[in-house]
Chains A and B, each alone.
Chain A
Amino acid sequence: MFDLRSISKSFGSLKALDQLDLQLKPKIITGLIGPNGSGKTTLINIMTGIYAPDSGSIYFHQQNLTGESAECFAQKSIARTFQNIRLFKRMTVMENIMASLVTKEKNKRNNWFSYPFTRNKFNLNKAHEVLEIMNLKDQRNLFAEELPLPLRRKLEIARALVAEPEVILLDEPAGGMTPSETFEMAELINLHVAPGRTIVLIEHKMDLISKICNHLVVLNHGEKIVEGETHEVLSHKKVLEAYIGI
């Protein structure tokens, strides 16, 4: 489905991605790992249209999306979270979730005249559902900037979920979390995010990776060095080299 062919991206003289090929397998969790600065986030940015690749092409369901805008990628039902959390700071948790529904297909119950937008029953039900799933119900009237970090990460995922995307790209969903919070996040992803969806998960925490990823891709210096089943990859010589630097 998601098909990246020899993607390159440079920032000045720095090659962040170098002739990278990647085919996502539908309906499984693909882990994307690699040392700091290896180009993982850049790859996700390219997969959501935030950066256009310098060369190479991007296909989604056989459709060429190379050079399209971020809006276009979003409308193809691709959602993401950010490593440096991005929320609408001056909106409440509820409004942040509703914001994600703003551009969803205009069905009978969600058109320009469904008024007021934030009280729309159809949307509200959806939003309450995700809030329930992500355990954010009690915070729904807080402003996003008032949330502690783990809840902000959850809100980002909730926002992605509510749009019912086909693909979700998670950029370090457990970044900065304690082991127990990480554990809870792993459960959430396994139970509620992953089923029926194609997921890409960037993470540095190997226990999280080994717990939930079926498939792994390892990047180093913008190149794909290994790809395969999780347990095989994790014991691969090249991976150990890249990480431990032997």
Chain B
Amino acid sequence: MITDFVQNCIDGIMVGSGYSLLALGFTLVFGVLKRLNLSYGPSIMLGAYVGTWSFLNIADNIWLVLLTTICATVVIGIYVEQLCFRAVSKETTIASMVSSFAIWMQLEEIALHLLPERTYPFPAFFDSGLLEFGPFTARSEYLFMFVVMLLLLLILHAFIYRTRIGLAIRAYSDHPSASAYMGIDGSSVLFLAFIIVSIIGGIAGFLILSADSQITPFFGLWATFKGLIAMMLGGIGSLSGAVLGGLILGVIEANAFWYGDPVIRDISSFMLLFTMLIIRPGGIFGHKIEIHQKIASERV
């Protein structure tokens, strides 16, 4: 009984580390832009499609797949940044969001042109093995994903809080116009943020898909959903919050799936999200931001 629960939690953390990776990307881009990039998941999906395509048509080399996936995701990320975020005026946040949705539709169709079947195999990083720890088990590729996720969190954290570029990003995200007076070029910050986020996305997509060993066009929607939920659970704008949010989402899902079924799994994660947004909108671990009404936080 209790071993089941613990095993579920382990599974949840393993799967959840994928959510955490996606949430890291979401939280960075939302933190900097203050606008929602709906096409983040689909960009990763298309990037991974390019990866699969190179696997099928060029060479059976896992490094090549990793490289093409990341590069393609970066290129798509830049395309989205230029079209939906740089060109659209900053005050109209909805326009950017809807525009990123339009691009989503575009990306999905491009993916279908690239590889028209419904599912394709995605190469595994290494031969999957079941690691045993006493009564508990974990799959090696998930464990690997977990470790990579933690490493990425550390690197990102160091980058954002210890480097000059990180400082510029934080300054811009805190107050774009004030940072401009300090000589920070907003558009290069945006550009850079999109590149970083796309690299994270490429890595996330690669690891998740190679653990799943297959790819479908639904991956885009799936990734956007899981990343968003995990980000909101952890609290917007916090890197460790994003990671924790992802892990919690994973654990909840794993348990709900074990004791219920896939539908119950999904309902419970949305229920958790909804209740949390009402009771504690700042996220489980987010700072207690008062966003009751704009009024409370706004200088008048």
**Closest approach, in angstroms, between the C-beta of B269 and any C-beta of chain A?**
36
**8 A-B pairs closest in CB distance:** A45-B300, A50-B300, A50-B295, A82-B300, A41-B300, A84-B300, A70-B295, A84-B299
Give the number of residue pairs across the A-B interface with Cβ within 8 Å.
Answer: 8
Residues from chain A with Cβ under 8 Å of B300 in the complex? 41, 45, 50, 82, 84
What are 8 A-to-B residue pairs whose CB atoms are below 8 Å?
A41-B300, A45-B300, A50-B295, A50-B300, A70-B295, A82-B300, A84-B299, A84-B300
The digit string for B259-300, where 1 denotes a CB below 8 A from any CB of A, is: 000000000000000000000000000000000000100011
- From 44 to 63 in chain A, residues with beta carbon under 8 angstroms from any chain B beta carbon are 45, 50
Residues from chain B with Cβ under 8 Å of A82 in the complex? 300
- The interface of chain A, by Cβ under 8 A from chain B, is 41, 45, 50, 70, 82, 84
CA distance A41 to B299 in the complex (A): 10
Residues from chain A with Cβ under 8 Å of B295 in the complex? 50, 70
Residues from chain B with Cβ under 8 Å of A84 in the complex? 299-300
Question: What is the chain A residue whose CB lies nearest that of B91?
Answer: A89
CA distance A41 to B300 in the complex (A): 8
**Closest approach, in angstroms, between the C-beta of A175 and any C-beta of chain B?**
14
Main secondary structure of the interface of B (DSSP, over half): loop
CA distance A172 to B299 in the complex (A): 16
**Closest approach, in angstroms, between the C-beta of A49 and any C-beta of chain B?**
10
Residues from chain A with Cβ under 8 Å of B299 in the complex? 84
Question: What is the chain A residue whose CB lies nearest that of B295?
Answer: A50
CA distance A45 to B300 in the complex (A): 8
Given A50-B300, A82-B300, 6 more pairs with CB closer than 8 A: A41-B300, A45-B300, A50-B295, A70-B295, A84-B299, A84-B300
Question: What is the chain A residue whose CB lies nearest that of B299?
Answer: A84
**Closest approach, in angstroms, between the C-beta of A79 and any C-beta of chain B?**
15
Question: What is the chain A residue whose CB lies nearest that of B296?
Answer: A51
**Closest approach, in angstroms, between the C-beta of B101 and any C-beta of chain A?**
23
CA distance A41 to B295 in the complex (A): 15
CA distance A166 to B93 in the complex (A): 39
Residues from chain B with Cβ under 8 Å of A45 in the complex? 300
Question: What is the chain B residue whose CB lies nearest that of A83?
Answer: B300
Question: What is the chain B residue whose CB lies nearest that of A51?
Answer: B300
CA distance A152 to B295 in the complex (A): 22
CA distance A50 to B292 in the complex (A): 13
Question: What is the chain B residue whose CB lies nearest that of A48?
Answer: B300
**Closest approach, in angstroms, between the C-beta of B95 and any C-beta of chain A?**
14
**Closest approach, in angstroms, between the C-beta of B226 and any C-beta of chain A?**
36
Residues from chain B with Cβ under 8 Å of A50 in the complex? 295, 300
The digit string for B189-221, where 1 denotes a CB below 8 A from any CB of A, is: 000000000000000000000000000000000
Residues from chain B with Cβ under 8 Å of A41 in the complex? 300
CA distance A70 to B295 in the complex (A): 10
Question: What is the chain A residue whose CB lies nearest that of B298?
Answer: A50
Question: What is the chain B residue whose CB lies nearest that of A41?
Answer: B300
CA distance A45 to B296 in the complex (A): 12
CA distance A50 to B300 in the complex (A): 8
CA distance A70 to B300 in the complex (A): 13
CA distance A84 to B299 in the complex (A): 9
**Closest approach, in angstroms, between the C-beta of B197 and any C-beta of chain A?**
31
**Closest approach, in angstroms, between the C-beta of A112 and any C-beta of chain B?**
26
CA distance A50 to B297 in the complex (A): 11
CA distance A82 to B299 in the complex (A): 11
CA distance A82 to B300 in the complex (A): 7
CA distance A50 to B295 in the complex (A): 7
CA distance A245 to B300 in the complex (A): 27
